[in-house]
Amino acid sequence: MTENTRVVVIGGGYAGTLAANRLRQRTGVDITLVNPRPVFVERIRLHQLVADTGAATADYGTLLGEGIQLVVDAVERIDAAARRLVLTSGAVLDYDYLIYAVGSTGAVPRSVPGAAEFAHGICDLESAQRLHYALADLPLGAPVTVVGGGLTGIETASELAEQGRPVTLVCGGPLGASLSNRGRRSVRKQLRARGVVVAEFVTATEVRWDSVVLSDGAVLPSMATVWTAGFAVPDLAARSGLRTDEAGRLLTDETLTCIDDDRIVAAGDAAAPSGRPLRMSCQAAGPLGAQAANTVLARIAGQDPAPLDQAFVGQCISIGRSGGTLQFAHTDDTPLNLALGGRVTAAIKERICRGTLWAIRREAAKPGSYFWLKGGQRPAQPADRQVAVP
């Protein structure tokens, strides 16, 4: 009797969960999802969890298709030669194929004095929960500083300011560097309406328990400092002897197959196809998860997997609960000078957040149903994705 093919997915985020569901298109595949938490984390809602304006977790029981085994544990090491995972608990998992979807997390730099001790992250569930509790202990009038003028920083600053908190947003470069001039104007106008003070082209050089020192010499009072400037990926691939890019993403070919081992396929933020990673985002993670599953299924069937084919449409940013900016983009993810802002955009963003989980649940109910926009051109050179490794 032919044994089933064992496929293990490391990481239960947007990419990993969708990939696990999509693998169910083929019978005779045993699917295991390894994740360090027993719940799915909606990273695109973590700023809402911090501000107590929404939840940011979902039950895997509502997201995973029948027959997928969930193992709540972390992976300590990948033994590619033996096709085996060593888990933090000491258990081991054997696999025939592996999908590497470990995602990314926030990066608080050790090079900035006081940042590790006094700054709060927001890009993982535990950090967001700690920040939520810290803010709950502060009076509403206590000053808050958000470091990082990217999309996460904008959403966090606006969510807190809409509650009536005094917030300063510190941007190392221009506000919303990935936006067009029109998109930036939309965001700036809405932040101003909520009382957010935007400090552009300055960096935080020191974080203290009650203040932040800026590169221009200014000292900002800050009873809570939130660090959103940059992302990092787990070092599992490098720790396991697999080749990565400078940021630690697993190097793959255009089919998302690891260049060191064709039994390992990568998806999501931790994948670097041909050394040219896509923007770290939920918008990229879902399609990458689907394509990673397609690659594994093709290899099981003895077929040549298809190369990566993915396009972008833009970026949708929430500005509190009542506003937002929709930045339209070329299919290669470069911004068009076209943006929509205001209450209508807030409703669009909420539909996107809900639709993301709806798509994962639909894939669980009907494997192979997930679709994405194709035909995008990828940059010729490795792009700067604002990744910081502490």
pLDDT at 388 over 80: no
pLDDT, tens digit, 9 for 90 and up, residues 242-278: 999 999 999 999 999 999 999 999 999 999 999 999 9
Query: Alpha-carbon distance 137 to 113, whole Å?
Result: 24
pLDDT at 211 over 60: yes
CATH superfamily of 110-229+312-371: FAD/NAD(P)-binding domain (3.50.50.60)
- What's the chain's average pLDDT? 94
With cut-offs at 50, 70 and 90, classify the pLDDT of residue 382.
very low
Confidence (pLDDT) at 379:
59
29: helix, strand or coil: strand
Tokens of 326: 């929709």
Residue range 161-168: mean pLDDT, rounded: 97
- Report the interhelical angle of 14-22 vs 343-365 (nearest 10°): 40
pLDDT at 383 over 80: no
pLDDT at 385 over 70: no
- Of 80-89, 200-209, 230-239, least confident by mean pLDDT is 230-239
**Residues with Cβ within 8 Å of residue 198, at least 6 apart in sequence:** 149, 168, 169, 171, 175, 188, 191, 192
Place of tokens 């298809």: 306
pLDDT at 390 over 80: no
Residue range 137-162: mean pLDDT, rounded: 97
Q: Which long-range contacts (CB under 8 A, 24 or more apart) does 185-188 make?
A: 186/325, 186/339, 186/340, 186/341, 187/154, 187/317, 187/319, 187/325, 187/341
Confidence (pLDDT) at 378:
72
The domain spans of the chain are: 5-106+232-307, 110-229+312-371
Confidence (pLDDT) at 30:
98
With cut-offs at 50, 70 and 90, classify the pLDDT of residue 38.
very high
pLDDT, tens digit, 9 for 90 and up, residues 346-372: 999 999 999 999 999 999 999 999 999
193: helix, strand or coil: helix
Residue range 60-81: mean pLDDT, rounded: 98
Confidence (pLDDT) at 386:
36
CATH code that applies to domain 5-106+232-307: 3.50.50.60
pLDDT, tens digit, 9 for 90 and up, residues 270-300: 999 999 999 989 999 999 999 999 999 999 9
